[in-house]
Amino acid sequence: MTQVMHVRGLAKRYGDVRAVDGISFEVQHASLFTILGPNGAGKTTTLEMLEGIREPDAGEITILGERMRRVTRAAKQRMGVLLQDGGFEPHLKVKEVLQLFASFFDHAVSIAEILERVSMTDKAGAQVRTLSGGQRQRMAIGAALVNDPDLVFLDEPTTGLDPQARRNIWDIVANLKSRGKTLLLTTHYMEEAETLSDHVCIMDHGKIIAEGSPLELTAGLGEETLIEFRLDDPDTQTLRQLEPCCKQIRVSGSQATLETLDLRETMARLLDWSEQTSEEFHDLRIRQPNLEDVFLAFTGRKLRE
Amino acid sequence: MRTFRALLLTEIRNYSRDWATLFFTLLFPLIFVLLFGVLMGGIGDIDQAVVGVLVTTDADFGDELIDLLLTSGVRSVKAYTDASKLGGAVEDHVVDFGLRWDGSTLHTLYDASRLQENFAFQQLAEGIAADFDLLRQGAMTPIQVQRIHAGDVEITSWFHLVLPGILAFSVLTAGLFAVSGHLTQMKERSILDRLLVTPMRPTALLVAIAAVRLVIVFLSTLITLFVGILVFGMRFDVDWLRYCIFVVCATFGTMGMGTVIALLVKRPSSAGNIANAMAMVMLFMAGVYFPIEFMPQSLQAASRAMPLTHMAEAMRYVTGVQEMGDLRFWLTSMVFAIVGLVLFPLLARYVVKPSRR
Amino acid sequence: MKDVLQLARTHVVTAFRERVTLFWFLIFPLFLLTILTLIFGQLGQEATIHFQIALINEDHAAGPESFSALIESTFVRLSAPQEDSDMPLFDLHQAPQGESASFLETELSELRRGDRAAILVIPQGFHTSVRSSFGGESSGHTLELYMTDASVTSETAAGIIEQILSGINREILIRGNAYHTEQAVEIKTEWLGQQDGKGVSYVDFILPAIILMGFFTNGLFGVPGTLLFNRDRKVLHRYWVTPVTVPRYLTGFALGHLALCVLQFALLYTLGRFAFQANVSFSNPQTILLLLLSAITFMAFGLFIAAIAKTANSGMAVANILNMPMMFLSGMFFPVAGLPTFIRIIVYANPVSYLLEGLRKSVGVQTGTLMPVQLTYLVPLAWILVSAMVASRRLRWDVDP
């Protein structure tokens, strides 16, 4: 089957607030689907409904061909979930944690295999309380994989980890994809979303406001180029003079970003302006738009807030 | 000085909000006192005993036996005519023990399960039996014994002796947990680290903690004392000067004990648990609930090595319950004070040392 | 099934690896059993008690054949080293020659300080007085026994001295032909409330209580502690995204709890049996049933506490408040029959009282009924029911987001 998961009209209301306002999307087999959204977008609630720990008010979830309102126990047998936060018994050893989780499922792979997959073999006998943040997260991923699930949820898998640990997790994720697993990811990190995802959907105020592959989304912004630089003392009046030479200008603190469709033209005008106004700019960068910019364009907010 | 005042206020606020600790230091001893006062009120007290007696109809000297019982100082005597009813009364604890006289044999009946009290009942019964024996043969008791009470204070019950031990326990836990509990928790939560990057001197913090603890200890022991006096009618002859001096010395000494624990443990969080366990063990071994003399020799030695044993002794002394010898009292107080003082700089250093990661 | 077993295993393993839990549920009951048995197990066995006493004989003038001398020599004999290794009953302190006046003062202060248990003074003219009492001229002479009721030791020593003097009394009467041993009153001791009529050893009496105390501590502290801790630290949160359900978790938890109780029982029984020669046997069906009922009752109660407490800290605080009253107002260590009525209400409401009495009766160390028999099972069952109802309504299994 090509569709591992299908969501239609999913909704959840808290009093008057529509946390999730009727969303629909499809997750294809062996792909990595990312949900991006600022805090309060409804991302967490959506995920909780898909994980089965919250009851939807409306809508339908289809997992591996099985239709349901609330995610059933049978569906959970074939899912693996890495939660954003949660504890483990501090005095259990790593292999004991995996054995415990393995016992929850009808079918489980060997513990040795899981340990190998998340590179924790040498830590098998260590107690949870002695693990570093990265090691704990790898073990948690291992716990999410004990039943060899076809569908894996990864809720902010690398938040709070150092770059090395983050890379380890990315390797594991890439490996999962190559083995034909279907993955649903949420993240704050743009590079993570860009590097790993096949398909991205952006949520805000309970709705999906944009969807597509990272390339499609950035291309949707148009054939524009971005010129970024920093000013010592940004003066609104002076900057206004730049407006006619570009498509759009954004200022955030001491950083200015010019969007333009004609790089050469805008650059020339910029240099003229600098000479005329005696404004000096630093850290000049010219780049293509990325997901962060897409996000900003659609929601008006930064990814990481 | 301003720092000190601020620290003092923070300590007080912390304490009054941490109602679990507040409970332990103020209410716990109180519950102890009320519970044990009620439970132990009657142990070992012959004048609280109720005796059941049955004299078979053809037995001689029946009336004399009953007279003997009535004058022996027991609380009351119940007469029975049915042997099984008397037996039932003993088993149901309606009477504390029974006597059945059939003319030749005096049967003494006890409930086997009253192991802690039968000792005293047996002594009483044997005394009555001996007197009755002589009486029946018309013999006088040539040797009579008069008990002369040498103590000053009127002791109403065994519990009277226990209460000062409970006071000692309050002081012990206050000082012990001030360091191995409160301070170690501050260290574990890196609160100490944050305080130390300020100009605060560790001495100021320690004095603030000690000051608050002392106030709590005085409050708690005084409340306990007054409950004993008001609720159970006990009388104490408190030497207030020595009382205050000892409480202060002992608090410092037990804070020193807490320091030893805090310095020896690997993780600060273990310190509180170890202190708790030690306090519990000491509570049973320090001669608070039963005299040390009743323990086997090996345990007696262990008991005398425990600080709480000496604290209980001192508290009994300052509340006028038991003599101790003034010299020994001052020696004990000084030892506690010295332990506290000697360990004080070590404690200050502990406060300043950065937490291990 | 394997998830239930794994959860049970986790419960047991973590209890062992947390040193705090291990201490309170294993080491402390063992310690308590040891201490209480060592101390109370030998109450009344004079072989192990040893008193410091002083004797002042002011009646030397009466001569070595006098009653005064008889009394003195009796006590001297009782303080001499014994043939067997037992310590003599007394350590006798007597005045050095010619210093009896100041000796009493010193001894009295020793008595007040607790270094002497009792002081016996034989006053001058004692022998003559006693002799003349035979002729009915006077009623004998009184010995002075100084003691203090500030000390149980002193009370006990005084009682023992009085007993010894009573024996000497008889001796004197026999010699004076005023007393005939053949006509002596025979004294027979009967031990009631116990199946074979023999006395009950202390360890047999206290072992069921300590076992129950172990189960009680487990249920009161261990159950809400573990549960609330796991919930608040979001350990349970991680379980609920897997197929495991609350009923399965609870079953595994209960199984683990029972396993810990069995372990407690085994260790306490072994200690009691092999170190202290406990005779009591737990193998009859009623006893096993009561032990099981106890473990379940206390676990249910623990769930009740977990349901009414908001956090792990408040749960532990509640447990601490309830611990002592429930344990002591049940008859575990102290008799509760003579308590004032308003306290007795607590005793009668306390499930521990019923389980304890039922247990002691079923192993044969008690036959008296302080509680109505039918309630032995009914009251604990009622507690289980109420706890289960409250827990099923109010116990939250996950932290609210």
Per-residue pLDDT of C309-324, as tens digits, reads 988 888 888 888 888 8
Residue C243's pLDDT is: 93
Verify that C178 and C239 share a domain, yes or no: no
All chains having 3 or more CB pairs closer than 8 angstroms to chain C? A, B
**Residue with tokens 């792990």, as numbered in its chain:** C312
C400 domain-assigned: no
| CB neighbours of residue C137 within 10 Å | 9
C-alpha dihedral sign at B329, B334, B339, B340: positive
Percent of chain A past pLDDT 70, that is, above it, reads 99
Output the six-digit token pair for B159. 């519990």
> CA angle, corner A50, sides to A48 and A55, nearest 5?
65
pLDDT at B28 over 80: no
Q: What is the pLDDT of residue B77?
A: 87
Which tokens is C266 given?
Answer: 């085994």
Question: Where is the domain boundary, C183, C218, C245?
Answer: C183
pLDDT at C47 over 80: no
User: What pLDDT shows up at residue C194?
Assistant: 65
Per CATH, the homologous superfamily of domain A3-218 is: P-loop containing nucleotide triphosphate hydrolases (3.40.50.300)
pLDDT exceeds 60 at position B279: yes
> In the predicted model, what is the mean pLDDT of residues B292-300?
75
DSSP B144: E
Amino acid B190: pLDDT: 78
Question: How far is Cα C120 from Cα C78, in angstroms, rounded to an integer?
Answer: 14
> In the numeric block, which tokens belong to residue A277?
């106004």
Higher pLDDT, C288 or C81: C288
Q: What are the residue ranges spanned by the domains of chain A?
A: 3-218, 223-288
State the CATH architecture for B46-136.
3-Layer(aba) Sandwich (3.40)
Neighbours, chain A (3 or more CB pairs < 8 A): C
CB atoms under 10 Å from CB of C276, counted, come to 18
The stretch C354-358 carries a mean pLDDT of 92
B147: closest chain C residue by CA: C145
**Beta strands A207-212 and A225-231: pairing type?**
unpaired
Chain-wide mean pLDDT for chain B? 81
Rg for chain A (alpha carbons), in Å? Answer: 23
Interface contact A33, partner C, CB < 8 A: no
Neighbours of chain B (3+ CB pairs under 8 A): C
**Orientation of helix B297-304 relative to helix C28-40, angle to 10°:** 120
Question: Residue type for B30, please?
Answer: L
The per-residue pLDDT for C42 is 66
Judge whether B324 is closer than 8 Å to chain C, CB to CB: yes
* Global confidence as pTM: 0.82
pLDDT band at C216 (very low <50, low <70, confident <90, very high): very high
Check pLDDT > 90 for residue A24.
Answer: yes
Q: What is the pLDDT of residues B324-347, one digit of tens each?
A: 878 889 999 999 999 998 988 888
Residue B134 touches partner C, C-beta closer than 8 Å:
yes
In contact, A169 and A141? CB cutoff 8 Å: yes
DSSP C120: E
Interface pTM, i.e. ipTM: 0.84
Q: What is the CATH number of the domain that holds C63?
A: 3.40.1710
Q: Do C5 and A104 touch (CB under 8 A)?
A: no
User: What was the pLDDT predicted at B47?
Assistant: 62
Round the average pLDDT of chain A to a whole number and report it. 87
- pLDDT tens digit sequence for B144-161: 888 888 766 666 566 777
Question: Nearest to residue A193, comparing CAs of A278, A259, A292?
Answer: A292
Three-state secondary-structure class, residue C80:
coil
Which amino acid makes up residue C279?
N
DSSP assignment of chain A, as one string? --EEEEEEEEEEEETTEEEEEEEEEEEETT-EEEEE--TTSSHHHHHHHHHTSS--SEEEEEETTEEESSPPHHHHHTEEEE-SS----TTSBHHHHHHHHHHTSSS---HHHHHHHTT-GGGTTSBGGG--HHHHHHHHHHHHHTT--SEEEEESTTTT--HHHHHHHHHHHHHHHHTT-EEEEE-S-HHHHHHH-SEEEEEETTEEEEEE-HHHHHHTT-S-EEEEEEESS--HHHHHTTGGGSSEEEEETTEEEEEES-HHHHHHHHHHHHHHHT--EEEEEEE---HHHHHHHHHSS-S--
> Which single residue is written with the structure tokens 């009054």?
B16
State whether residue C376 sits within 8 Å of chain A by CB.
Answer: no
- CA of C161 to nearest chain B CA: how many angstroms apart? 9
> C126 with C143: CB under 8 angstroms?
yes
Instruction: Please tell me the least confidently modeled range out of A56-65, B151-160, B222-231, C53-62.
Output: B151-160
Under the banding of pLDDT at 50, 70 and 90, the label for residue C336 is confident
Same domain, C216 and C279: yes
Q: Within 10 Å of residue B337's Cβ, how many Cβ atoms?
A: 19
C10 touching chain A per CB within 8 A: yes
Does residue A86 carry a pLDDT above 80?
yes
Q: How would you class A237 by CB atoms within 10 Å of its CB: exposed for 0-12, middle for 13-18, buried for 19 or more?
A: exposed
Which residues 6+ apart lie within 8 Å of C16 measured at CB?
C22
CA distance C139 to B153: 32
Q: How far apart are the first and last CA of chain A?
A: 38
The secondary structure element, H or E, covering residue B22 is helix B19-22
Q: Which pLDDT does position A272 carry in this prediction?
A: 86
Top mean-pLDDT range of A267-276, B170-179, C211-220: C211-220
Interface contact flag, C187 B129, Cβ < 8 Å: yes
Q: Is the pLDDT of residue C391 over 60?
A: yes
Which amino acid, residue B290?
F
Type of residue at A122: D
Q: Classify residue C195: in a domain, yes or no.
A: no
pLDDT in tens, C252-278: 999 999 999 999 999 999 999 999 888
| Neighbouring residues of B355: CB distance < 8 A, sequence distance ≥ 6 | B187, B188, B190, B192, B193, B268
More confident: C317 or A138: A138
| A180 in reach of chain C (CB within 8 A) | no
CB C78 within 8 A of CB C89: yes
State the Cα–Cα distance between residues C230 and C153, nearest whole angstrom. 50
Assess whether C219 and C131 both reside in one domain: no
Q: How far is A145 from chain C (nearest CA, A)?
A: 11
Question: What pLDDT, on the 0 to 100 scale, is given for residue B104?
Answer: 84
Q: What CA–CA distances, in Å, run from C264 to C30, C210, C319, C323?
A: 9, 10, 20, 18
User: Widest CA span of chain B, in angstroms?
Assistant: 93
Q: For a pLDDT cut of 90, what percent of chain C falls above it? A: 33
**Chain B nearest C-alpha distance from C241 (Å):** 32
With beta carbons less than 8 A apart as the criterion, state whether C277 and C243 touch: no
Chains A and C touch (3+ CB pairs under 8 A): yes
Regarding whether C117 and C14 lie in a shared domain, the answer is no
- When the pLDDT of each residue in chain C is averaged and rounded to a whole number, the result is 85
pLDDT of residue A42: 84
B124 to chain C: nearest residue by CA? C159
* CB-based contact C144:B143 (threshold 8 Å): no
Q: Are residues C56 and C153 in the same domain?
A: yes
Residue B58, pLDDT > 90, answer no
pLDDT (average), residues B275-289: 82
Give the distance from residue C235's alpha carbon to the nearest chain A alpha carbon, in angstroms. 4
Tell me the chain A residues in contact with residue C22 when contact means C-beta distances shorter than 8 Å. Answer: none
Beta strands at C51-57 and C90-94: parallel, antiparallel or unpaired: parallel
Instruction: State the span(s) of chain B assigned CATH 3.40.190.
Output: 46-136
- pLDDT of residue A48 exceeding 70, the answer is yes
Calculate the alpha carbon distances from A78 to A56, A72, B126 in Å.
20, 11, 80
Q: Are A212 and A200 in contact (CB under 8 A)?
A: yes
What CATH number belongs to A223-288? 3.30.70.980
Cα distance between residue A37 and residue B182, in whole Å: 43
Contact C178 B136 (CB under 8 A): no
Best B72, B99, B115 residue to mutate vs chain C (most C CBs within 10 Å)? B115
Q: Is the pLDDT of residue A9 over 80?
A: yes
Which of A68-77, A230-239, B246-255, B343-352 has the weakest average pLDDT? A230-239
pLDDT, position B103: 83
In this predicted structure, which of A204-218, B305-319, C192-206 has the lowest mean pLDDT? C192-206
CB C224 within 8 A of CB C391: no
pLDDT band at B51 (very low <50, low <70, confident <90, very high): confident
Task: Indicate if the pLDDT at residue B43 is higher than 90.
Answer: no
Cβ density class B218-247: b for 16+ within 10 Å, e for less: bebbebbbebbeeebebebeeeeebbebbb
Q: What is the spatial distance between Cα C146 and Cα C235, in angstroms, rounded to a whole number?
A: 67
Chain B residues lying within 8 Å of C192, measured CB to CB: 87, 90-91, 109-112
What chain C residue is nearest to A49 in terms of C-alpha separation? C241
Nearest Cα of chain B lies from the Cα of C327 at a distance, in angstroms, of 11
Within this chain, do residues C254 and C353 fall inside the same structural domain, yes or no?
yes
> Using a CB-CB distance cutoff of 8 angstroms, which residues of chain C are in contact with residue A52?
241
The percent of residues above 70 in pLDDT, for chain C, comes to 91
The minimum CA-CA distance between C70 and chain B, rounded to whole Å, is 12
Distance CA C156, CA C152 (A): 6
* B102 neighbourhood in chain C, CB within 8 Å: none
**Band (B62; pLDDT cuts 50, 70, 90):** confident
Region C164-182: what's the mean pLDDT?
80
Q: Is residue C192 part of a domain?
A: no
Residue range(s) defining the domain that contains residue C232: 2-41+201-394
Q: How close, in Å, is residue A52 to chain C by CA atoms?
A: 6
Q: Which residues of C309-322 are buried (b: 16+ CB within 10 A; e: fewer)?
A: beebebbbbbbbee
C339 with C374, same domain: the answer is yes
- Assess B75–C contact: CB distance below 8 Å, yes or no: no
**Helix and strand counts by DSSP (H, E) for chain C:** 16, 5
Report CB contact under 8 Å: A87, C238: yes
Q: Enumerate residues 294 to 323 of chain B having a beta carbon within 8 A of any beta carbon in chain C.
A: 294-296, 299, 316, 321-323
DSSP string, C293-320: HHHHHHHHHHHHHHHH-SSHHHHHHHHH
C261 and C327, same domain (yes or no)? yes
B35 vs C: CB within 8 A: yes
